[in-house]
Structures are given as structure tokens and as C-alpha cells.
With several copies, the nearest count.
Chain A
Amino acid sequence: MVVKPNKKKFEGIARELIALRIANDLQDGSYVNLGIGIPTLVSNWIEGRDLVLQSEIGMLNTGPLAEGDNIDQDCINASCQPVTELPGCCYFSDCESFAMIRGRYMDVAVLGALQVSEKGDLAGWNNPDRGFPEHVGNIGGSMDLAVGAKKVIVAMEHVTTKGDFKIVKKCSYPVTAIGVVKLIATDLALIEVTDNGLVLKEVAPGLTAEDVQSVTEPKLIISPDLREIAL
């Protein structure tokens, strides 16, 4: 069961800054896949970085969004946004795309989530509020990315719009994959998933570890190096 904390209590950083925090975490020389939502915003912070973006529809070295005359109906990302090519770009089939994802060639996948558990379980594909049977919903590429990427980073708001926990002891929503999340970046905190549990590494400006704990169901381990979110 999702335990309801109070309604949204804290002002955190903007979605764009969650994306920036994640961009700062990416290692040069990495292949990266960005999911829909906040993850997509990461692309705004990596111009000039030595990173290669994959679009799971079948493209490597995906560039910024296309505008005006650069728009090509045959060159889109998984959100149907027109994109551009960077030098070194190549195209391939969806089958090849997921072969490389499952084959562990993707260094990082940044995904949205509805819930993340303290074990790193990810629930992101099926919101029971929609009222579909439990096995039906928009799986898309999320399950393959979650098990295939070498590092899974979740980018999300810390609590739901209703104020419910999203970082939970155990996912109550249908899971996307088990034990895969390594890092959680929210508007309120940066949390690492370790074998010992969730380690709170960074908090939003003006917040304390206790503030973050109050909107996080599992017990957080406070990092000895706890600091403000590194932007």
C-alpha cells in the first residue's frame, strides 16, 4: 500500500535542474538513452559533451530537436519529436536497437518512474489509476532499457501530485524491472541505491535530510558527505 504523507510540503528544484544534475553525473564517452518526460530534458545540458545519445526507434548520435526547415518526418525520436543528426550518426532497425540495449551496450538509461523501491525495483509502465487489467499498458521500451542498460538513473518528482510517496519500501504498482535502479534524481534529492539501502547524497537548497526523509517511505542512510544538489 502507498502510505500517504502530507500534501506536497517542499519546494524543490525545477525539472530542468533535475535534468542538469543527471547530465553532471554522466561520464564522458558514454552511450546514453533518455526516456520520455524529465529524462528528455537532459539533452538540453549536454551540448559539446562527449556523449552519444541513442533513440530506441533506431538512431545513434541523435542531435537536438529539429526546427523549421530541418524538420524531416522520417527523423523522429520515440516521442515523435523531429530531431537532427550529429556527425557520426547512424540509423538501424528497432530490432537492432533493442539488440544493443539488451546486449549491454547502453552505458546509461535515464527513465521516468511512478515508484522506485529501496531495492532498486522500478515501476513505471502501468498506472493502476487507468483501470486496465494488470497486464495491459504502455510497456514500450522501458523494460528492455531497465534490464539492459549498465546504469539506470531514475528522474522524477519526489512525490506524486497528491503527495504520495514515490520512493517506497516495496512497489505497489506493476514493476518494470527488479533491482535495476542505481541512482534516483528528484526535485528534492539525489539518492544512490546501494546493497545496504538508499543513501541520501544531496538535498535541494534549503532542505534538510529530515525534510527528505519525511517524504520518503524507506529509511534513508545519510551520506557523511551530504551536500546541496550539485548543479
Chain B
Amino acid sequence: MDKVFASIDEAVKDIPDGASIAIGGFFTAGTPVELIQALARHGAKNLTIICQQMGPGNEDVTKLVEQGQVKKAICNYPFYRSASRGANSPFEIAVRAGKIEVEVYPMGTFIEKMRAAGAGIAGFYTPTGVGTVVERGKEKKVFNGRTYLLEVALRPDYAFIHAWKGDRFGNCMYRKTAQNYNPEMGKAATITIAQVEKVVEAGELDPDKVHMPGIYVQRVVEVGRRTYKPGID
């Protein structure tokens, strides 16, 4: 079993127009920048992008927006906090113009929906969002006197994830807070493409310390390590 691709462009080339793609990462930590850039070169259109942030700290996703590749965004923190910065954001402008549809979930619900998809769970009852606009159109149910919302699984066609090390079986290890959304997005998607800083030999990763069992990963591509500078949003 060898899931390693030699080229990042090769790893994304079958993504069709209309695909849904979950993108891991949180600002400077664990964002699969090279894969997003490859997607921009690839040019697939009418995409549904599932990621934490569509604008802030994610210039590469912004490029997809600018190129008109994005039809819909599913996220939990779509906009800049600052209204003035937001006013100049291509994503915010596209949303206001009705060119991109936006679906927003609470952060825990957002990632639990993908955890459910990966785990074969069709739906789950969460207390989060009860009494808010998030409950609109959703079933509610009372368990032990407390009200919960039914949220359903979200299975992306593809996931782009970033890991520290990976092997040819697709086993991955993450580093510090660069883990974030990557594991559950990778488990949820039909095709998961892991960009890793380093591909190691099978057997080099301590089996007790693999964060992401290779069974969830279909493609692995080595990208090295770029440097980013963390700074407040």
C-alpha cells in the first residue's frame, strides 16, 4: 500500500467542478496552504468550501474566492472581527452581493458534524444553539428535561489536511495546535489528501503516537515546512 503522490498538482487533479472540500487548519497552525494553492491552479469551480475561516488569515482561500471558484462556504467564523477590514474582504463582498452562499455552525457543531460522518453516525443531539437562530429548521428533542438540537453528519467529497509527518500507509502525526480540525475533516471526507512536512518510512512512527490512522487517508504528498508568523487577527 503506497499512498504517496510525487506532486501536489497530481494529488488534486481529479477534483471535479461542484465538489465539496473540507480544509483543515487554523491561521498559521496546520493549514494545508500548498493544497489550496494547487486547487487555485487546478481551477475547479462551483466548489463548496468547508473551513473555519474564509477570509481572516487565509489569503489562499481568498484567492479561490477571487477566482470565482467558490459557490458556497460552510464555516464557523467567516468574517473579520473588524467591520472596516471586512468591508474590503473579497469573501465578505461576495457574500453581501449574494454570489457566495454561507452556512454557519457553532465551532463544536461544525466539527462534530464531520466527526459523525467519519464515524458512520447519521445525526446527533447537541445542546448548542438551542434558543438561537441556529435551531431554525432543525428538530428538537428533550432528554432528561434538557432540550437538544438534531444536527446531521457532514461528509465532504475531499479533505485537505496538513500533518507534521506521514508514512506511505497514510498514518499521520500532528504537531501542537496544528492538529485542530485536520483529524476529523480527514476522517469525514471520501478522499482525504494529506500534505505532510515529511514522509517517513513505514514503521518509523511510534504506533502509539499516530494521531491519524492511515485508513482515513487516501493520498499523501510531501511539502516540507514553510514558516509563518503568528499574530493577532
Contact = CB atoms under 8 A, between A and B. Distances in A.
Interface of A: 29, 31, 36, 50, 52, 54-61, 71-82, 85, 87-96, 98-105, 121, 129-132, 134-144, 147-148, 174-178
Contact of B233 (A74, A80, A102, A178): A80
B175 interface: yes
A31 B120 CA distance: 17
Contacts of A175: 131-132
Contacts of B90: none
Given A88-B171, A144-B107, A137 B79 contact: yes
A52 B1 contact: yes
Interface in B161-216: 167-169, 171, 174-184, 187, 201-203, 205, 207-208, 210-211, 213-216
A75 B178 CA distance: 7
B163 to A, nearest CB: 11
B179 A92 contact: yes
Interface in B47-88: 57, 76-79, 81, 83, 86
A138 B78 contact: yes
Given A59-B176, A90-B213, A93-B211, 4 more contacts: A52-B215, A80-B231, A143-B108, A178-B131
A130 B213 contact: no
Interface residues of B, number: 77
B28 A101 contact: no
Nearest to A54: B215
A105 B111 contact: no
B136 A135 contact: yes
7 contacts: A61-B169, A76-B177, A93-B183, A130-B83, A135-B134, A141-B106, A147-B130
Contacts of A57: 26, 29, 177, 180
Interface stretch (B4-12, B36-44, B121-129): B121-129
Contacts of A52: 1, 169, 214-215
Contacts of A142: 106
A54 B216 CA distance: 13
B202 A88 contact: yes
Contacts of A71: 229-230
Contact of A95 (B1, B86, B112, B232): B112
Contact of B232 (A75, A79, A136): A79
Interface in B89-121: 95-96, 102, 104-109, 111-112, 114-115, 117-121
B30 interface: yes
A148 B177 contact: no
Q: Which 5 interchain pairs have the tightest Cβ spacing? A: A102-B120, A98-B108, A87-B203, A99-B119, A144-B108
A15 B157 CA distance: 41
Q: Which of A79, A90, A104 has the most CB of B within 10 A?
A: A90
